[in-house]
Amino acid sequence: MADIETVAVIGVGTMGEAMVGHIDEGGYDVYAYDVDYEKAREAVESQATVTDSLEKAVRPAEMIIIAVGTYEQAKSVVCDTGGILESATAGDIVAISSTLSPEQCISLSEDLSDEEIEPIGAPTCRGEKAARRGDLLVFVGSDRSVYDRARLVLEQFSSPENVVHLGPVGSGQAAKAANNALLWSSVVANQEVLLLAEAYDLDLDLVRELLQKSTGSNWALGGWDWMHTKWAHKDMDIISDMAKRQDVRIPSLALTEQLVQEIDQDELDRTR
């Protein structure tokens, strides 16, 4: 197959916008689409072409990256009128970067494969700051041949050592779900510990600095100044569904699912 020269990014939120910029800097022709066309035009500062329809972004691209927030949005991008199933060409690659369950990723991939479109699961980790830096970690699930074709594009917002092939479609989403379960478990524990430190009139900045040097260190604590729980409910729903499907007991994560939803944002802000 010919090298990929043109890429479409669907969903120009924080992550999608950063992907657009890095891929454009890598020398690719980039098309970007978001349901909020004016917001996307304002957000994209690169030479990428922002289109006013999904079809206009998909048709010229050899690789399409889905960077929307939910399964319902991803399904719409694939299946709706003018969407990928109608507008992509056989042999095109569709990278599902959205945080979905493995089963949701597999379902979308089957829809794509029926039209001879090549699916690849490629969710990312490390958050918004890493996206801006182009230092995301990419968990890949796909046929090896599809991974080999898509890898150079994925490396534009990551690096060769951080684009990792884990297995067939769905594997990347399973690994991302495991990562997020540990993230939210850390957030719950951090919040409780910091509230306890506050009750003892400790300097929270100093406590956080010391904990990051000690055995209690964790990624969420290092990014506490901008930590939020916006996606916690969705992420923990995915973990719960995975556990039920595989008949795996997850008592501590089930408790995390409950507790993370009880975190008050104002209370969290107080511990920054």
| Residue 2 scores a pLDDT above 80 | no
Task: Say what percent of the chain tops pLDDT 90.
Answer: 90
In terms of C-beta density within 10 A (0-12 exposed, 13-18 middle, 19 or more buried), how is residue 188 classed? buried
pLDDT at 1: 56
Give the tens place of pLDDT for each residue, 36-69. 999 899 888 888 999 999 999 999 999 999 999 9
Task: Say what percent of the chain tops pLDDT 70.
Answer: 99
pLDDT at 146: 97
What average pLDDT score do residues 195-205 get? 96
What average pLDDT score do residues 74-97 get? 97
Give the tens place of pLDDT for each residue, 21-33. 999 999 999 999 9
Rg (CA), the chain: 20
| Residue 195 scores a pLDDT above 90 | yes
Sign of the Cα pseudo-torsion (141, 82, 75, 184, in order): positive
Please report, as a single letter, which amino acid is at residue 224. Answer: W
pLDDT at 267: 83
pLDDT at 43: 84
pLDDT at 266: 83
Distances (CA, A) of 172 to 104, 125, 142, 143, 236: 12, 11, 8, 12, 16
Mean pLDDT of the chain: 95
Instruction: Give dist(CA 17, CA 227) in Å, integer.
Output: 20
pLDDT at 46: 84
Tokens 């690659």, located at residue: 93
| 216 phi, psi to nearest 5 deg | -90, 5
| 140 phi, psi to nearest 5 deg | -105, 135
- Nearest to 111, CA basis, from 131, 139, 86: 86
- Nearest to 10, CA basis, from 71, 77, 88, 72: 77
Tokens of 206: 């100093």
The number of residues making up the chain comes to 272
Give the tens place of pLDDT for each residue, 136-149. 999 999 999 999 99
Instruction: Give dist(CA 157, CA 30) in Å, integer.
Output: 14
For residue 265, name the pLDDT band (cuts at 50, 70, 90). Answer: confident
Decide: helix, strand or coil at residue 243.
helix
* Pairing state between β 137-141 and 124-125: antiparallel
pLDDT at 268: 87
Give the tens place of pLDDT for each residue, 228-246. 898 999 999 999 999 999 9
Instruction: Give dist(CA 192, CA 13) in Å, integer.
Output: 31
Its pTM surpasses 0.85: yes
CA 234 to chain centre: 12
